[in-house]
């Protein structure tokens, strides 16, 4: 099945290649695809999947594809340095959405809109509106295609819930009462990452409770009543969480939920890949996914990878051809089946044949009513995040009262946000 789809994909590339060579494209002399492509990837299931498509691409187009992988912690610094040099070291670059803002700032990527609008194979309309905007800068230019669609969703233990007669929570009050019921029955109530990644859950809660991290003029608003309520709520949740929760990072939240007895967790859908590993997943078949509870605001916190073409890329046309090949509609199913985190195409979400292996797919369909929140699109986000983690941790560990800590954080964020280039 997949092979057939792939063959279609390859045929498409050939047509594309011919097409590109037949009518000279925007900048170059109408050359057909040639030369080399240098891919900058970050170790991840998505990266592995992308690489699995390389042999076919090379065979059909004759373009040699080289890959270099850099761990997450250094990847973006390395990319920024490279783009500053303007030496054309990479033709395609994978990056986390949290770095879209600095890249936009630095004009480090090529705008993809022209290619996108001209591509039936990529078919941008196959994406919901919010997801179409996922890789867009404030200027409206698309600097990155969606490489993975990972909303924060609810994962819950079907067996524990059934035993206690619980249903997946739709409000935060329900979430807490569910957790309390499970905790009272002897297991751990719920789990979110209170540790080094606590910012991910903190911003989600703040938004969901109706707050904002900063207003349109970049004044911080983390000590608004809604934001403070969110932090207080997180503290309440800590009491019905397992013992190691206070230091759990994103991965540990997932591995604990999959390996121990915890009623529910809030986490990105992309972590589903860990559930496929039987040495991690001891609760196979005993959990399901549902949308995150709604607070005062209906928001979806959307995370995920982006992938784009650096502004100084030497072979942008071949780069687009590659992106179209791997991420286009024809190969979408094969791409998912090769182990990558899912991309939320409508055609994929509604494909019932994929549902068994990827039961979370329905959660990727983000209702139009839900406001999509990405990582805050500010260049100073790294520093902002560290300050926020520091402050929230102080509240969670009991070192500070919520209001005092958030007021202090707000003050500090003022000077950090003041550095944001406008």
Binding site for other proteins (CB under 8 A): 43, 68-74, 77-78, 80-81, 84-85, 102, 105-108, 195-197, 243-244, 246-247, 249-252, 255, 259, 274, 279-280, 379-380, 382-383, 386, 389-391, 393-394, 397, 412, 415, 419, 421
Of residues 125 and 419, the one with the C-beta less far from other proteins: 419
Which residues, listed in sequence order, are joined to residue 264 by a DSSP beta bridge?
A: 156, 190
Among 38, 93, 91, 89, which residue's Cα sits nearest to residue 66? Answer: 38
* Shortest spacing between CB 248 and other proteins, in angstroms: 9
CA distances from 148 to 17, 82, 236, 380, 391 (A): 26, 24, 32, 24, 30
* Shortest spacing between CB 199 and other proteins, in angstroms: 11
Of residues 42 and 323, the one with the C-beta less far from other proteins: 42
* Shortest spacing between CB 71 and other proteins, in angstroms: 5
* Shortest spacing between CB 131 and other proteins, in angstroms: 24
Of residues 191 and 299, the one with the C-beta less far from other proteins: 191
Q: 304, 270 in Cβ contact below 8 A?
A: yes
- What torsion do the CA atoms of 106, 134, 303, 283 make, to the nearest 10 degrees? -150
* Shortest spacing between CB 82 and other proteins, in angstroms: 9
Of residues 35 and 43, the one with the C-beta less far from other proteins: 43
Among 239, 242, 237, which residue's Cα sits nearest to residue 255? Answer: 242
* Shortest spacing between CB 419 and other proteins, in angstroms: 8
Among 95, 148, 376, which residue's Cα sits nearest to residue 272? Answer: 148
* Shortest spacing between CB 395 and other proteins, in angstroms: 10
Q: Residues near 243 by Cβ (< 8 Å), separated by ≥ 6?
A: none
Helix (H, G, I), strand (E, B) or coil at 94: strand
Among 73, 41, 79, 68, which residue's Cα sits nearest to residue 323? Answer: 41
Of residues 171 and 415, the one with the C-beta less far from other proteins: 415
Of residues 195 and 344, the one with the C-beta less far from other proteins: 195
* Shortest spacing between CB 345 and other proteins, in angstroms: 26
Residue 32, phi-psi category: left (phi > 0), alpha (psi -120 to 50), beta (remainder): beta
Alpha-carbon gap, residue 168 to 291, rounded angstroms: 9
Residue 13, phi-psi category: left (phi > 0), alpha (psi -120 to 50), beta (remainder): alpha
Of residues 181 and 388, the one with the C-beta less far from other proteins: 388
Helices marked H in 310-401? 316-327, 332-337, 346-349, 381-396
Of residues 198 and 332, the one with the C-beta less far from other proteins: 198
């Amino acid at each position: 099945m997949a092979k057939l789809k792939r063959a279609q994909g390859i045929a498409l590339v050939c047509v594309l290649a011919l097409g590109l060579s037949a009518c000279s494209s925007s900048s170059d002399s109408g050359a057909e695809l040639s030369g080399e492509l240098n891919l900058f990837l970050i170790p991840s299931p998505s990266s592995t999947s992308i690489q699995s498509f390389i042999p076919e691409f090379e065979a059909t187009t004759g373009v040699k594809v080289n890959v270099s992988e850099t761990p997450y912690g250094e990847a973006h610094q390395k990319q920024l340095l490279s783009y500053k040099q303007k030496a054309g070291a990479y033709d395609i670059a994978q990056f986390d959405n949290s770095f879209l803002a600095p890249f936009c700032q630095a004009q480090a990527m090529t705008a993809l809109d022209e290619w996108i609008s001209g591509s039936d194979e990529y078919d941008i309309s196959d994406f919901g509106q919010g997801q179409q905007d996922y890789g867009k800068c404030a200027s409206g230019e698309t600097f990155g295609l969606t490489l993975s669609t990972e909303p924060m969703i609810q994962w819950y233990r079907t067996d524990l819930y059934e035993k206690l007669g619980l249903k997946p929570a739709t409000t935060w009050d329900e979430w807490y009462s569910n957790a309390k019921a499970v905790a009272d029955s002897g297991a751990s109530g719920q789990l979110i990452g209170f540790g080094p990644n606590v910012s991910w859950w903190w911003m989600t809660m703040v938004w969901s409770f109706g707050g904002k991290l900063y207003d349109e003029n970049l004044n911080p608003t983390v000590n608004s009543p809604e934001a403070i309520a969110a932090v207080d709520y997180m503290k309440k949740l800590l009491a019905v969480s397992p013992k190691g929760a206070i230091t759990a990072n994103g991965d540990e939240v997932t591995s604990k939920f999959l390996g121990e007895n915890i009623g529910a967790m809030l986490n990105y859908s992309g972590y589903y890949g860990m559930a496929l590993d039987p040495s991690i997943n001891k609760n196979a078949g005993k959990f399901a996914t549902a949308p995150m509870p709604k607070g005062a605001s209906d928001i979806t916190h959307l995370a995920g990878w982006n992938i784009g073409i650096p502004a100084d890329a030497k072979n942008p046309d071949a780069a687009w051809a590659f992106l179209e090949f791997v991420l286009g509609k024809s190969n979408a199913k094969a791409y998912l089946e090769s182990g990558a985190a899912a991309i939320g195409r409508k055609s994929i979400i509604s494909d019932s044949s994929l549902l068994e292996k990827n039961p979370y797919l329905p959660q990727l369909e983000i209702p139009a009513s839900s406001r999509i929140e990405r990582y805050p699109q500010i260049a100073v986000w790294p520093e902002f995040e560290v300050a926020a983690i520091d402050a929230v941790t102080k509240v969670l560990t009991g070192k500070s009262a919520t209001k005092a800590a958030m007021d202090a954080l707000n003050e500090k964020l003022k000077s950090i946000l003041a550095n944001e280039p406008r």
